[in-house]
């Protein structure tokens, strides 16, 4: 079962995280930043959305996560939460997303994987790092798990993981390292 929707946005003095919406999915499609999405894979999940071409892929994927927040009855397969990231000051444009997936495969059972994407104009502004730090306490408690991991697909993701307090493990998914962050 998926965790409850947050009662209020997750906020700090810089960021506001709200459950992703179809409007946010449209903003992702408009930005059309598809680099890196072909390599994204979560253990135990399918990559059906990768069959959708180009920028529409972002919309389909993000909109499906938006609908999961609205579902009244979650099945065992509805195990995602995704937040839109916006700056608390400025235009209110989408700055990125951060999300969590609970995995049910034996090797990853009881753990969350996290993913993030930063809008091109917000890169190098530590949006992903700060969104992880802001959302992780909620995710650990809401999902009732002890750890979150990042499947780092590139050097930039590795830097985000380290800045957010994740530690490199001896695990890997394919050739990519895994970083973990525990509740303690």
Dihedral sign computed on CA atoms, order 26, 31, 34, 37: negative
For position 51, what pLDDT does the model report? 59
125-150 residue pLDDT tens = 999 999 999 999 988 888 888 889 99
For position 146, what pLDDT does the model report? 86
For position 77, what pLDDT does the model report? 45
| pTM as predicted | 0.83
Sequence-distant (≥ 6) Cβ neighbours of residue 159 within 8 angstroms: none
State the DSSP code for 125. Answer: T
Counting as low any pLDDT under 70, the low residues of the chain are 1-5, 7, 34-54, 69-78, 183-184
CATH number for region 10-145: 3.40.630.30
Instruction: Report residue 13: phi and psi, to 5°.
Output: -70, -5
For position 70, what pLDDT does the model report? 67
Domain ranges across the chain: 10-145
Distance CA(67)–CA(183), nearest Å, equals: 28
If you write DSSP's letter for every residue of 59-91 in order, what string do you get?
Answer: HHHHHHHHHHHH-SS--TT--EEEEEEEESSSS
Dihedral sign computed on CA atoms, order 91, 92, 93, 95: positive
**Contact between residue 26 and residue 92 where contact means Cβ atoms under 8 Å apart:** no
For position 39, what pLDDT does the model report? 45
Instruction: Report residue 12: phi and psi, to 5°.
Output: -140, -165
């Amino acid at each position: 079962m998926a965790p409850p929707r947050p009662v209020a946005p997750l906020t700090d003095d810089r960021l506001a995280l709200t459950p992703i919406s179809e409007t946010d999915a449209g903003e992702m499609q408009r930005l059309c930043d598809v680099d890196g999405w072909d390599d994204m894979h979560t253990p135990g999940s399918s990559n059906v959305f990768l069959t959708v071409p180009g920028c529409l892929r972002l919309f389909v994927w993000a909109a499906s996560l938006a609908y999961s927040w609205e579902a009244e009855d979650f099945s065992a397969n509805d195990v995602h939460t995704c937040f839109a990231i916006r700056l608390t000051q400025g235009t209110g444009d989408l700055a990125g997303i951060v999300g969590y997936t609970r995995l049910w495969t034996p090797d990853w059972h009881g753990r969350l994987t996290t993913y993030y994407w930063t809008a091109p104009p917000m890169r190098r502004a530590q949006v992903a790092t700060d969104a992880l730090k802001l959302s992780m306490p909620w995710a650990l408690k809401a999902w009732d798990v002890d750890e979150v991991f990042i499947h780092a697909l590139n050097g930039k993701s590795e830097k985000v993981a380290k800045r957010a307090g994740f530690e490199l493990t001896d695990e890997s998914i394919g050739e990519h390292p895994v970083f973990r962050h525990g509740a303690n």
